[in-house]
Amino acid sequence: MGSKSNKTPYWQAAPMAAVFTLFFAVPLAVIVIVSFWQYNQYSITPAFIFSNYTDIFSGCIRQLPDLCTTFATYLQTLIFCAEVWALTLVIGFALAYFLVFEVRTPTMQVVLALICTIPFWTSNVIRMISWIPLLGRNGLINQGLLALGVTDHPVEWLLYSHFSVLLAFVHLNTVFMIIPILNSMARIDRSLIEAARDGGASGWQTLWNVLIPLSKPGIAIGSIFVITVVMGDYITIGIMGGQQIASVGKVIQVQTNFLQFPLAAANAVVLLATVLVLILGLTRLVDIRKEL
């Protein structure tokens, strides 16, 4: 092994580097390349054409202010993103605050944090399906509403709707906010909070001027995670939307199933670019605030 050898880190990192090259870097490069290829019903052939991109945005400018399918789909997905982000951020922040500053023993903190994390290790599909007996037309909630006489016919928008997709997103992804924010908060020096209080700051002022700025790295990491998950999603929107709601990821999936690989690849490149812009914006926001 020769611990003094300079080669050691290289063979130690080699397996991971090889896997990322073969199953991440090369596939991304292949997507970019294939997005310029031609296709017909049976095969794809190398070329250098832009028609896959122009197909995606065909008529999009001309139709304005009406939205073409692509713009409408992106808008729909971005709205989900914004809603899920806001909800998971508020819930995640409150829960992380509770775990770090209100729970007193470290053991209890670990146990409660684990309780939040354990569902992450179980199947997402099952966690989605499990809403059906609650939200369905004959589900528990509708039974309750009928019994109470709130409505005389079952509420239809509970399942396979915008609402149920949103609910499932929050259900599945809040953990991605809790853990990074908790991690940032745990590093905050308690004396800073005492100082703020001694200086006459109210609870809200302390929260706004001390806690939130110091939790920013965690908030940024959590936000990046949640936003990228929602932007690329097609499974949650598919199952919880009853296959009726469009999303960017779903468009790519459908085109892949129809073997329209170059078109799907072009869509993937556009999606990737959008996600990158969102992430850059987010990191910029955090860094600029840090500078001030």
Partner 1 sequence: MTERRSLAFYLLAIFFALFVVFLYGPTLTILVLSFQGPQGGLTFPMRGVSLHWFRQLFHGIGVVDIGGALWNSLQLGVTVMILTVVASVMAGLAFRRRFFGATLLFYTAIASLIVPSIVVSLGIALEFRIADDGVKAFGDAFHIEWIWNNFTTLMGLFTSGLGAHLSWTFPFGLLIMFAVFNRFNPAYEEAARDLGATPWQTFRHVVLPIIAPAIAGVALFGFTLSWDEIARSSQAMGADSTLPITLRALTTTVTTPAIYALGTVTTAVSFTVIGAVLAIVTMVQRRRRRLGSDAGKGV
Shortest Cβ distance from residue 261 to partner 1 (Å)? 6
Compare residues 172 and 216 and give the one whose CB is closer to partner 1.
Answer: 172
Shortest Cβ distance from residue 181 to partner 1 (Å)? 14
Shortest Cβ distance from residue 61 to partner 1 (Å)? 25
d(CA 84, CA 174): 9
From residue 229, give the alpha-carbon distance in Å to each of 25, 81, 109: 19, 9, 27
Compare residues 14 and 79 and give the one whose CB is closer to partner 1.
Answer: 14
Shortest Cβ distance from residue 201 to partner 1 (Å)? 15
For 67, which DSSP code? P
CB neighbours (10 Å) of residue 74?
A: 20
d(CA 39, CA 179): 44
Compare residues 59 and 187 and give the one whose CB is closer to partner 1.
Answer: 187
d(CA 232, CA 252): 10
Q: Which of 82, 84, 77 is nearest to 170 (CA)?
A: 84
What stretch of H or E contains 38?
strand 38-39
Shortest Cβ distance from residue 122 to partner 1 (Å)? 4
Under a CB-based contact definition with an 8 Å cutoff, are residues 126 and 235 in contact? no
Under a CB-based contact definition with an 8 Å cutoff, are residues 233 and 119 in contact? no
CB neighbours (10 Å) of residue 152?
A: 7
Compare residues 15 and 200 and give the one whose CB is closer to partner 1.
Answer: 15
d(CA 56, CA 59): 9
Q: Which of 125, 128, 222 is nearest to 168 (CA)?
A: 128
Compare residues 61 and 115 and give the one whose CB is closer to partner 1.
Answer: 115
Under a CB-based contact definition with an 8 Å cutoff, are residues 56 and 270 in contact? yes
Shortest Cβ distance from residue 192 to partner 1 (Å)? 18
Compare residues 95 and 166 and give the one whose CB is closer to partner 1.
Answer: 95
Shortest Cβ distance from residue 64 to partner 1 (Å)? 27
Compare residues 49 and 64 and give the one whose CB is closer to partner 1.
Answer: 49
